[in-house]
Amino acid sequence: MSHYQKKALLTGVLTLNLLLVAACSSTTSTPDYPVVNDMPQKKQESRRNDSAATSETLKAIEAISESQLDVPYKTIGNKDLAMDIYLPKSDTSANTAKGHPLAIWVHGGAWKRGDKADFPAKNPNLAKALLEEGYALASINYRLSSEAQFPAPLEDSKDAVKFLLDNAKSYGIDSERMVIMGRSAGGHLATLTATELTASKQTTSQPMPKAIISFFGLYDLLALEEQKSTRTPASSQTPEGLFLGNTPSAVPELAKMASPVTFVTPNTPPTLLMHGNMDKQAPVQQSLDFAVALEKNNVPHKIIVEDNARHGDPIFDSKAYVDQVLAFLKVHNP
């Protein structure tokens, strides 16, 4: 059994008896990692009713927002990279005197597939709740691994942030209340964008993200190769191999520059990590180890490990998780 497997097993045993912590703290969390346990029956009901609920929620999103789809933020050659922007028609719960707070969403898909339209499709309850809280939403596209390798997707994400900040006034956005979030590969890119920007913020005067929200993301690509080695032989054709252009161990310096853990500093924004302990695509150890790095740098953070949840489990868009996100944002992006 490898070091990572032993560590994951020990962590799993320790966390099984912990209860959900309902309130988010503005200080650095303790190393106790709560497990959200909505019980198998609720999880099955969530999956069974997912399609109908998604359809109804999408209609509700349309009713409460004004959408501007396919807004180009960058042109590369003859191709536009675009984002979808959703502006709340009205709100009563958010302080929007200076404009709407902004949530930037980065889609998942192993860096090789996916689209900006995935946000309302895969996380409709979160999208709806954020709009109801007065948030403007921006879901971005970026170059996939079939088009370009790292650092291209990171450059795209940072350019999308800059576009939104440069045009904040025209969209009614409060540039000082920006957060960035994503799932899977999008969680990786969202976190990498925020950590890289804040690690070098002395070189720019642009506003920085106030919080990171990441669902089952990846944070250390070199460690990922070892953590996945028992299931997937190292190959340049794995998602991370296609993303980097080679296996992480073959390009270690590039893999480090593509890993959010490399850029964690005391300036890293408060971070909420959510992960399933049965995730095979993105091992939960990625989040556990990243939380340790945040702890060492005194970064306010919270990690929630969902028992028996796999990668992309619909439970992560349930009320329990949406409430966790909103509570975290109320503390760190009021």
Structural domain spans, the chain:
52-332
Q: What percent of the chain has pLDDT over 70?
A: 80
DSSP element (H, E) containing 77: none
Contact 275, 302 (CB under 8 A): no
In the predicted model, is pLDDT for residue 54 greater than 80?
Answer: no
In the predicted model, is pLDDT for residue 179 greater than 90?
Answer: yes
The pLDDT mean for the chain works out to: 86
Question: Which residues lie below 8 Å from residue 316, measured CB to CB, with a gap of 6+?
Answer: 123, 183, 215, 216, 274, 276, 306, 309
Q: Using pLDDT thresholds of 50, 70 and 90, give the confidence band for residue 98.
A: confident
Q: Using pLDDT thresholds of 50, 70 and 90, give the confidence band for residue 231.
A: low
Question: Which residues lie below 8 Å from residue 275, measured CB to CB, with a gap of 6+?
Answer: 215, 216, 217, 282, 284, 286, 287, 288, 303, 304, 305, 306, 309
Looking at residue 10, its pLDDT comes to: 36
Q: Which residue is associated with the tokens 């925020």? A: 194
Among residues 159, 162, 127, which one has the least CA distance to residue 141?
A: 159
Looking at residue 55, its pLDDT comes to: 83
As a whole number, mean pLDDT of residues 238-249 equals 96
| Spatial distance between the Cα atoms of 309 and 150, rounded to a whole number of angstroms | 29
| Higher pLDDT, residue 94 or 197 | 197
| Spatial distance between the Cα atoms of 149 and 152, rounded to a whole number of angstroms | 6
In the predicted model, is pLDDT for residue 130 greater than 90?
Answer: yes
Q: Using pLDDT thresholds of 50, 70 and 90, give the confidence band for residue 263.
A: very high
CATH class of the domain at 52-332: alpha beta
Looking at residue 29, its pLDDT comes to: 42
Q: pLDDT tens, 111-120? A: 999 999 999 9
Q: What's the pTM?
A: 0.86
As a whole number, mean pLDDT of residues 216-242 equals 85
Looking at residue 229, its pLDDT comes to: 56
- Is omega for the bond preceding 151 within 30 degrees of 0, making it cis? yes
